[in-house]
């Protein structure tokens, strides 16, 4: 299909990546986000080799290597301090031909935004509905704007409006019983091996330190949480 016009709703990881890929494929894109300013946020995300290969195909391989951390091993330690396992990721990398890269989420988001061109993201545009005919798809925004194209891509995250349209029903989000806290700390050899993703496991608990970039660890603490949250809070 040539000359498609693609309307992307949401300029998070998924929306930005889709917009870059669609533009590279020669399609015309419009991308919208409900926020008034895109402010990269978050702690760390691990992009495994398949995700990095996608970035390579989008021409972002060099940038990925610059923002990615040197993750060479994975180490699991029991809460008692006993080593459970420690293994090299070399066989995986050899088999698939690509390093995984843990990255700071802010770096990843900024990289994607720069690659697309931040001026292309139309802000302050909250999608409230989608309409579809045999030939067109239209995203309708709270500010009255209507964006019509051949395809509307719903990249509007976990509280997606567009999901409802695609599934033709409302879905109830279910609290899985776990909460995960993430943050960034300065890399320090006394905390953990700077080339290893170190994961401490306990009963229904997990804490980990993963090297992102050259100078930081992202820490993550996940545990079973018995509090009851309403779907709006999750």
Ligand X SMILES: Cc1cc2nc3c(=O)[nH]c(=O)nc-3n(C[C@H](O)[C@H](O)[C@H](O)COP(=O)(O)OP(=O)(O)OC[C@H]3O[C@@H](n4cnc5c(N)ncnc54)[C@H](O)[C@@H]3O)c2cc1C
Q: Which residues bind ligand X (CB under 6 A)?
A: 9-15, 32-35, 41-45, 105, 125-127, 155-157, 159, 161, 182
Nearest distance in Å: CB 8, ligand X? 9
Nearest distance in Å: CB 80, ligand X? 27
Is 225 exposed, middle or buried (CB count within 10 Å of its CB: 0-12, 13-18, 19+)? Answer: middle
Closest to 13 (Cα-Cα) out of 136, 82, 108? 108
CA 56/CA 60 separation, integer angstroms: 5
- Which residue's CB is nearer to ligand X, number 34 or number 165? 34
| Side-chain half-sphere CA neighbours of 159 within 13 A | 8
Q: Under a CB-based contact definition with an 8 Å cutoff, are residues 223 and 169 in contact?
A: no
- Which residue's CB is nearer to ligand X, number 116 or number 125? 125
Nearest distance in Å: CB 10, ligand X? 3
List the structure tokens of 25. Answer: 């494929």
Is 59 exposed, middle or buried (CB count within 10 Å of its CB: 0-12, 13-18, 19+)? Answer: exposed
Residue showing the smallest CB distance to ligand X in the complex:
12
- Which residue's CB is nearer to ligand X, number 89 or number 139? 139
- Which residue's CB is nearer to ligand X, number 32 or number 217? 32
DSSP string for 175-215: --SEEEEEEEEE--TTTS-TTEEEEEEETTEEEEEEEETTT
Nearest distance in Å: CB 212, ligand X? 10
- Which residue's CB is nearer to ligand X, number 82 or number 192? 192
Nearest distance in Å: CB 95, ligand X? 24
- Which residue's CB is nearer to ligand X, number 89 or number 112? 112
Nearest distance in Å: CB 126, ligand X? 5
Within a 10 A sphere around the Cβ of 195, how many other Cβ atoms? 12
């Amino acid at each position: 299909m040539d000359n498609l016009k693609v309307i992307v709703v949401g300029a998070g990881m998924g929306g930005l990546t889709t917009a870059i890929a669609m533009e590279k494929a020669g399609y015309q894109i419009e991308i919208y986000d409900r926020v008034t300013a895109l402010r990269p946020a978050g702690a760390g995300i691990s992009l495994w080799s398949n995700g990095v290969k996608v970035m390579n195909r989008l021409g972002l391989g060099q940038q990925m290597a610059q923002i990615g951390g040197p993750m060479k091993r994975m180490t699991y330690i029991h809460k008692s301090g006993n080593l459970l396992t420690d293994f090299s990721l070399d066989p995986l990398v050899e088999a698939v031909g690509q390093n995984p890269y843990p990255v700071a989420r802010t770096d990843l988001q900024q990289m994607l935004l720069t690659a697309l061109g931040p001026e292309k993201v139309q802000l302050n545009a909250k999608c409230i509905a989608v309409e579809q005919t045999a030939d067109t798809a239209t995203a309708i925004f709270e500010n009255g704007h209507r964006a019509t194209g051949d395809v509307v891509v719903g990249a509007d995250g976990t509280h997606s409006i567009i999901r409802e349209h695609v599934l033709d029903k409302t879905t109830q989000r279910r609290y899985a019983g776990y909460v995960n806290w993430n943050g960034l700390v300065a890399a320090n050899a006394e905390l953990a091996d700077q080339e290893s993703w170190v994961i401490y496991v306990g009963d229904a608990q997990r804490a980990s330190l993963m090297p992102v970039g050259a100078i930081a660890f992202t820490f993550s603490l996940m545990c079973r949480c018995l509090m009851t949250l309403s779907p709006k809070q999750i």
